[in-house]
């Protein structure tokens, strides 16, 4: 009897390994929906499989981001949070589980009201800090932290006041400089990530560092494009570069000191 149970357990482990290899292969081919289904199959047999949990969370976040309809987005982002919560139960100190949770909460905040967005700021920062303590070379966590610094540093007066009321304090230590530093760190670790370059170009432009913004956009346009998201971001980079060029011409022929905005 014991041998029979042991044999079934070993067979299940082999099946899980095969499914995991298939899931990661599909993930590497950017077949996100198919990869997600394979990770779900792994979790049916082994609900505590850490890699399958955090990758299922990240895939739900990525797929949800492609939808325009907020109901569809909410469904995927909610699933992403559920998987991230399970991953954190398995690995409370895991870099990927904390990053997955930060990303899920960040995405959910984007389809929520202003109150929820402000309340989530400190929670997102806490998970990102824990992710980077566990893995200081986590490029995606650095990128999301850069976005967090930028968002928190540019809250308006009403948002800052509301944040103090809702959470007891306004975000501490956020600045555009820190946003730039975090994004530069992300790009150093993963220089092929066009979205990180685009984020950095936006902040440079919005802080009137036009030449740096142009340089970053030019670097972004040299990258090989793989996914449909890459193509869309590349299109935005081209449009932004053209607009900045036009803005610079206008500046040289105008006495206005008002900075150009995207």
Q: What is the C-alpha to C-alpha distance for residues 139 and 96, in angstroms, rounded to an integer?
A: 11
DSSP 129-177: HHHHHH-TT-HHHHHHHHHHHHHHHT--HHHHHHHHHHHSSPPPS--HH
- pLDDT at position 171 is 60
**Backbone conformation region of residue 168, classed left if phi is above 0, alpha if psi is from -120 to 50, else beta:** left
- Structural domains in the chain, sorted by start: 32-146 (1.25.40.10)
pLDDT score recorded for residue 3: 42
What pTM was computed for the model?
0.85
Instruction: Per-residue pLDDT tens, the chain, 262 aa: give them.
Output: 444 434 444 445 557 789 999 999 999 999 999 999 999 999 999 999 999 999 999 999 999 999 999 999 999 999 999 999 999 999 999 999 999 999 999 999 989 877 777 889 999 999 999 999 999 999 999 999 999 999 999 875 455 544 444 454 546 678 999 999 999 999 999 999 999 999 999 999 999 999 999 999 999 999 999 999 999 999 999 999 999 976 664 454 443 333 333 3
Q: Which residues of 235-259 are buried (b: 16+ CB within 10 A; e: fewer)?
A: ebbeebbeebeebeeeeeeeeeeee
For the chain, the distance separating the N- and C-terminal CA atoms, rounded to the nearest angstrom, is 70
């Amino acid at each position: 009897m014991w041998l029979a149970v042991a044999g079934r357990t070993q067979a299940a482990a082999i099946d899980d390994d095969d499914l995991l290899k298939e899931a990661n292969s599909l993930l590497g081919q950017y077949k996100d929906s198919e990869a997600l289904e394979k990770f779900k199959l792994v979790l049916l047999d082994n609900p505590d499989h850490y890699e399958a949990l955090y990758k299922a969370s990240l895939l739900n976040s990525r797929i949800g981001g492609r939808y325009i309809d907020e109901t569809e987005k909410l469904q995927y982002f909610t699933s992403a949070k559920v998987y991230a919560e399970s991953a954190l139960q398995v690995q409370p100190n895991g870099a990927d589980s904390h990053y997955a949770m930060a990303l899920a909460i960040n995405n959910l905040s984007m389809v929520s009201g202003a109150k929820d967005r402000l309340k989530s700021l400190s929670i997102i920062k806490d998970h990102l800090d824990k992710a980077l303590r566990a893995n200081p070379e986590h490029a995606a966590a650095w990128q999301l932290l850069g976005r967090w610094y930028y968002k928190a540093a540019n809250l308006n007066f009403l948002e800052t006041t509301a944040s103090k009321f809702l959470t007891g304090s306004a975000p501490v230590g956020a600045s555009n400089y820190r946003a730039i530093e975090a994004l530069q760190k992300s790009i150093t670790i993963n220089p092929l990530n066009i979205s990180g370059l685009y984020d950095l170009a936006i902040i440079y432009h919005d802080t009137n560092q036009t030449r740096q913004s142009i340089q970053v956009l030019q670097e972004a346009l040299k990258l090989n494009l793989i996914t449909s998201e890459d193509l869309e971001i590349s299109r935005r980079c081209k449009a932004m570069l053209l607009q900045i060029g036009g803005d610079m011409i206008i500046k040289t022929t105008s006495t206005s000191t008002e900075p150009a905005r995207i």
